Copies of this chain bind each other. A is one copy, B any other.
Amino acid sequence: MTAPANFNGQLPTIDPDDTAMLLIDHQSGLFQTVGDMEMTRLRANAGALAKVASLANIPVITTASVPQGPNGPLIPEIHENAPHAQYVARTGQINAWDNPDFVEAVKATGKNTLIIAGTITSVCMAFPSISAVHEGYKVFAVIDASGTYSKMAQEITLARVVQAGVVPIDTGAVLSELQRTWNRDDAQEWAGAYSDVFPPYQLLIESYMKAQDVVKNNETLDSQR
């Protein structure tokens, strides 16, 4: 069935109270092989996911593929932005879901919904996503916080995971689905995360505040001095 799997008639959106986030293999070496999106955007998106997982109190599990080899270490901002994240070392398995410790850690969260991002998309994100669906999880795969070697590989993977019942999602949608409303005390911190994901937002804020300051301070336009 290619409808969102395991929702059983429920609305196919993220319920923050029943969700864990898996951030897989965001490593400095693997990032060098990414060709479907600008690496800086990928890096900012992955960091933003970690940040909002903290804001929304969502458990985070990380792992890496042989970080002692050419794949390189995890980018540091993942654990900096989500200090509560749990790192699970694997012993060579490419599909994180093949590692018993990893699956154990996921189960220990007690959550039924998974947000999954992983570099490279077609492997490190796709395999655990398909496996988790098969084991009954509701899965949201964050394509633009993953990264793969070509745009074509990304498009193929999108089609594959949708076919398997995974819900595809972009980073901006994850942020909004977790935040739900601007009517909350930590609204400013969420705004900061949006600036990571769509950088013009920072310009909007800068222009907005200056425009209001001009009124508040009765500033004269330079061209009218």
Contact = CB atoms under 8 A, between A and B. Distances in A.
A95 B173 CA distance: 11
B198 A28 contact: no
Contact of A157 (B123, B173, B222): B173
Interface centre among A13, A65, A219 (most CB of B within 10 A): A13
Interface string A199-225: 111011111101110111001111111
A109 interface: no
Contact of A149 (B126, B153, B197): B197
A200 B122 contact: no
B176 A169 contact: no
A83 to B, nearest CB: 19
Nearest to A152: B144
A11 B120 CA distance: 20
A1 B12 CA distance: 11
A75 B206 contact: yes
Interface stretch (A16-24, A30-38, A53-61): A30-38
A79 interface: no
A67 B168 contact: no
Contacts of A75: 206
A26 B195 CA distance: 18
B94 A181 contact: yes
Contacts of A62: none
B208 A70 contact: yes
A219 to B, nearest CB: 5
Contact of A169 (B72, B156, B173): B156
A164 B40 CA distance: 31
Contacts of A183: 91-93, 223-224
A11 B126 CA distance: 12
Interface in A98-113: 98
A73 interface: yes
